[in-house]
Chain A
Amino acid sequence: MDLIHFCTRLSSACGSSEEIKAVRPLEDEIVVSLSPASLLQTVRTLREEFAATFVDLFGLDQRPSQDAFQLHLIFALDNEQSRVHLVIDLDTERPAFPSLMHDLPATDWYEREVWEEPGIQPEGHPLLRRLRLPPDWPQGIYPHRSSFAWSQNVQAAEPHHIQLESAPEGVVDYPLGPVRSGVVESGHYTLRTVGEELVDMHLQLFYKHRGIEKRAEGLPLPLLPLLAERISGASAFAHSLALCQALESIAEVEVPQRALYLRTLLAELERLYNHLGYQADLCQATGLVVAQAQFDIWKERILRLNAAISGHRYLFGMNVPGGLSRDLSEASLDMVRGLTATLQPDLESLGKLLFDSPSHRDRLEGTGILTPQDALAYCAVGPIGRASGVDRDLRRDHPYAAYADIDFEVPVLQTGDALARARVRLEEAKQSLRIIDQALERLAAGSIAVPIEQLPAGESALSLVESPRGESVHWLLVGEDGRIRRYRARPASFANWQAFPLAVPGHNILTDFPVIEQSFGLSFAGADC
């Protein structure tokens, strides 16, 4: 990446070079400090001239060490395998920045979160209202400000619920959730129908907001992976991996080769059981019960394998800062080999049978279309994005662990319907088997962790991991006392939930809704930390 060209273009786009205060090239990240006034133009230039993809936006209260707030924006430069990290200092009297929503609809929820928790104003945001905090959270109390202690008691205020416009004549609003049939997470939908046709949907998430980011502040190092794992249990390995990678980057340690390959293997096991469970859930939605059982059987086999090799069905407790907490014995590796050998042919035949089943296929084809334009505008990530033409996969574009040395394909489709989403995940499951085989082949002997004693004060690091649902972002800042000062975790589902309502209207009927919901396969807990 031609840094001079980059700086010149940014400066001239902003009209002057004073607006760009500093550019700091790190190994795979360019940190740009700028003023709020130049934010819009900088973002435009990044997107139009450097093909940058929006990744994250979050805020930070720097007090008491500095009397300022900070806004962080992260963009990915997939062509360069690097990131651009924009940092904007804001004053504490009236922290504000120009809203990016008109250019980039994807920033909607991020700006509302920043308005709500650190209390930074996105000026010009079209509809500022509560996102994650409950309706009875009092005004003027900002959980991400330094003055707010994680354990402090908050007196409930008068509940302030979002009022939806009432349905006109002939239109019916169906409320669905947060408690509904099946063992599912809490989320509420208001489905607006005219006759049978779904015309609109209101989504109410965030029943599971636990304040994980805030909890991490000041926590001792060995406890941090426990938090990350619990953001979303089905992506526990991916999230703890991202956290540990960020810590390893801060501590500047090199994780041993064996650990990198084992991490890759375990991450793919996680992806596998997720993708198989996904197919089962989708079959439940379409009523193909034998198929559901077949996929659930495979998911259960993998969960039992996980328990045997790691002590936990969902691979909790494996990632530690510096590597892995325990090695996988030769017997464990043989179990993995045994499973992949039997799964591979079965997956081929199951997949073929699945998509040839008219009762299943008919319900998926043309249902819940997320157009490629919408997927781009809302920065959809993971298999959802890839089913709508967004050709991005962090394992290929920003490789971590051992992925740079491994061959695999990234399936991408353009149709964006439920069938495309199901196909992409089935193909990814097949690719996961390929990756596991290569990781097993190349696994060398050696240690599985390096110790990390202390974290250097003031340092920060970003880690991006492709969890089973897509791009997960973790950023850590170490305070002056060597403890975590700020933890930012943006799971993939948070990004994709924003895009979900766009797939609901448009020639879908009410009974298509479970299919659309399951075809997205998003995590409610993963929207929310």
Chain B
Amino acid sequence: MVFSWIRRGLRTGVLTTRYPAVQERLPEAFRGKPIMDASRCIAEQGCNACVQVCLPDALSLQTVVESAGNEATQLVLDYARCVACGLCVSACPQQALRMTNEYELAASRREDLRMVTLFAPPDTSDGENGKEENNGRYA
């Protein structure tokens, strides 16, 4: 009986993968880390579609007062809270959020898991609408 199991084990061989020496590619469809293209985001226009559908509150919107005294909208994507459900991706009307199949999220500091995007209000002093100029300053 023992020999039957040994034979089986030998036949199967070693299936353990060589990660991290050899990268593990996950399927395309795998829901891993969501990423945001801030240039498409319209949070400072009042949109909070992604925040509404985020159950673990990984996405949050705050109004912050900058050092210069003006208000800015801050969108935070906290990967420590994110459960990669993908609802934010479908909810975003601007397709600013995209699901990747990245699974390596480890960071050595807690704050490195918080992606903060600061949307400064558009600078209309010279007559342009400002969206091209200063959208998506990364903090």
Contact = CB atoms under 8 A, between A and B. Distances in A.
B12 A294 contact: yes
Interface in B78-120: 83, 85-87
Contact of A309 (B4, B29, B52): B29
A357 interface: yes
Nearest to B99: A311
Contacts of A293: 9, 12
A332 to B, nearest CB: 9
Given A222-B53, A226-B55, A297-B15, A308 B29 contact: yes
Given A317-B86, A357-B1, A297 B31 contact: no
Given A288-B5, A310-B29, A353-B5, A226 B12 contact: no
Nearest to A227: B55
A308 B27 contact: yes
Contacts of A311: 27, 29-31, 86
A136 interface: no
Nearest to B9: A290
Contacts of B5: 288, 290-291, 353, 357
B90 to A, nearest CB: 9
Contacts of A297: 12, 15
B60 to A, nearest CB: 15
A312 interface: yes
A334 interface: no
A294 B5 CA distance: 9
Contacts of B12: 293-294, 297
Interface string A302-344: 0010011111100011000000000000000000000000000
A223 interface: yes
Interface in A358-399: 358-359
B18 interface: no
Nearest to A357: B1
A480 interface: no
A308 B8 CA distance: 27
B27 A353 contact: no
A171 B85 CA distance: 51
A220 interface: yes
A358 B9 contact: no
Given A307-B29, A311-B31, A226 B1 contact: no
A222 B85 CA distance: 11
A356 interface: yes
A223 B90 CA distance: 13
Interface string B1-21: 100111011001001000000
Contacts of B29: 307-311
Q: Is the interface of B mostly helix, strand, loop or mixed?
A: loop
From B6, B8, B26, B83, residue with most partner A Cβ within 10 Å: B8
A141 to B, nearest CB: 24
A223 B53 contact: yes
B4 A353 contact: yes
From B30, B52, B83, B86, residue with most partner A Cβ within 10 Å: B30
A288 B5 CA distance: 9
Interface in B22-66: 26-27, 29-31, 52-53, 55
Contact of B85 (A294, A308, A317): A317
B29 to A, nearest CB: 4
Nearest to A305: B27
A294 B29 CA distance: 27
B27 A307 contact: yes
A211 to B, nearest CB: 14
A316 B85 contact: yes
Contact of A223 (B1, B4, B87): B87
Contacts of B31: 311-312, 317
A220 B6 CA distance: 54
A219 B56 CA distance: 12
Contacts of A227: 55
A356 B85 contact: no
Contacts of B30: 307-308, 311-312
A222 B6 CA distance: 50
B87 A222 contact: yes
B53 A220 contact: yes
Contacts of A310: 29
A478 to B, nearest CB: 20
A190 B65 CA distance: 56
Nearest to B91: A222
Nearest to B15: A297
A293 to B, nearest CB: 7
Given A222-B87, A312-B31, A294 B8 contact: yes
Given A223-B53, A311-B30, A290 B15 contact: no
Interface in A242-292: 288, 290-291
Contacts of B53: 220, 222-223
Given A226-B55, A307-B26, 9 more contacts: A220-B53, A222-B53, A222-B87, A291-B5, A293-B9, A297-B15, A307-B30, A308-B30, A311-B31
- Which 6 pairs across A and B sit closest by C-beta, in order of nearness? A308-B27, A290-B5, A290-B9, A311-B31, A311-B29, A223-B55
Interface of B: 1, 4-6, 8-9, 12, 15, 26-27, 29-31, 52-53, 55, 83, 85-87
23 contacts: A219-B55, A220-B52, A220-B53, A222-B87, A223-B53, A223-B55, A226-B55, A226-B85, A226-B87, A290-B6, A291-B5, A293-B12, A294-B8, A297-B15, A304-B27, A308-B29, A310-B29, A312-B31, A316-B85, A317-B85, A317-B86, A353-B8, A356-B1
